[in-house]
C-alpha cells in the first residue's frame, strides 16, 4: 500500500514536470528555496550577530568616553583635595580662613565625618558675629580657597544688640582626600 502511494506520487510529479509552465514554477520555487537556505539565511544571521556586536561595542565606547571625561574632571579638582584625610587639618584650615576676617567666632562645632562616594566629608556648624562685608569676604574665601568646601546652609540675621552687627549661622562641608 505504502509503495503504491509513493509510486503514484512520483508518477504525478513526473507528469506535472512535463508541463512547461509547472516546470518553470517548480524551478523558480526550488531556486528561491535554495538561495534562501544557502545564501540569505546565513547572511541574515551574520548581519544580526554583527549588529549585536556593534551595539555592544558602541555601549563600550560610550562608557570609555565617560570614564575619560570623568578622569579629566578629577584632574581639575585633584590638586584641591587635601593631602591628608585628617579632620583636624581641615578644622585648622577653616579657622585660619576665619582669622583673616574680623568676624567673631561665637560657636564652632565640627560634626562626625560622613562618606560621600569615595570621599570623606567633614560638616562644620558655626555661628559668626560681624559686619556684612566681613561675612561676604569669608564666603568669597570659602568659594576661592585651595580646598573644596561647600556651604550647605547659611542664615543671616541682625544681632539683638543692633549697631549693624549680624549673626551668621552656617554649615560648611569640607571634602577630605
Other C-beta atoms lying within 10 Å of the C-beta of residue 103: 19
Angle at 153 between CA 127 and CA 144, to 5 degrees: 85
Give me the pLDDT at residue 162, please.
66
Nearest CA to 134 out of 163, 162, 168 is that of: 168
Task: Give me the tens of pLDDT residue by residue for the chain, a chain 177 residues long.
Answer: 677 887 887 888 778 778 788 778 888 888 888 888 888 888 888 889 999 999 999 999 999 999 999 888 877 777 767 666 678 888 888 899 999 989 999 999 999 988 887 778 889 999 999 999 999 999 999 988 888 888 999 999 988 876 778 999 999 998 886
Grid coordinates given for 35: 538561495
Contact between residue 151 and residue 168 where contact means Cβ atoms under 8 Å apart? no
Grid coordinates given for 63: 562608557
Contact between residue 174 and residue 147 where contact means Cβ atoms under 8 Å apart? yes
Distance in angstroms (rounded) separating the CA atoms of residues 62 and 69: 11
Distance in angstroms (rounded) separating the CA atoms of residues 87 and 44: 63
Distance in angstroms (rounded) separating the CA atoms of residues 117 and 148: 15
Distance in angstroms (rounded) separating the CA atoms of residues 53 and 57: 6
Give me the pLDDT at residue 70, please.
86
Strand positions, DSSP E, the chain: 104-110, 114-116, 119-130, 149-158, 166-176
Give me the pLDDT at residue 109, please.
92
Amino acid at each position: 500500500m505504502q509503495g503504491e502511494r509513493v509510486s503514484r506520487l512520483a508518477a504525478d510529479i513526473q507528469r506535472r514536470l512535463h508541463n512547461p509552465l509547472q516546470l518553470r514554477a517548480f524551478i523558480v520555487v526550488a531556486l528561491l528555496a535554495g538561495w534562501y537556505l544557502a545564501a540569505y539565511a546565513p547572511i541574515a544571521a551574520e548581519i544580526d550577530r554583527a549588529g549585536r556586536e556593534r551595539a555592544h561595542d558602541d555601549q563600550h565606547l560610550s562608557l570609555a568616553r565617560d570614564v575619560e571625561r570623568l578622569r579629566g574632571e578629577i584632574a581639575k579638582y585633584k590638586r584641591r583635595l587635601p593631602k591628608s584625610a585628617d579632620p583636624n587639618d581641615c578644622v585648622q584650615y577653616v579657622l585660619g580662613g576665619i582669622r583673616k576676617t574680623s568676624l567673631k567666632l561665637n560657636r564652632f562645632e565640627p560634626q562626625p565625618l560622613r562618606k560621600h562616594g569615595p570621599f570623606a566629608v567633614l560638616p562644620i556648624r558655626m555661628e559668626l558675629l560681624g559686619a556684612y562685608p566681613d561675612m561676604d569676604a569669608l564666603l568669597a574665601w570659602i568659594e576661592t580657597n585651595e580646598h573644596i568646601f561647600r556651604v550647605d546652609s547659611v542664615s543671616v540675621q541682625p544681632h539683638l544688640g543692633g549697631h549693624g552687627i549680624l549673626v551668621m549661622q552656617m554649615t560648611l562641608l569640607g571634602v577630605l582626600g
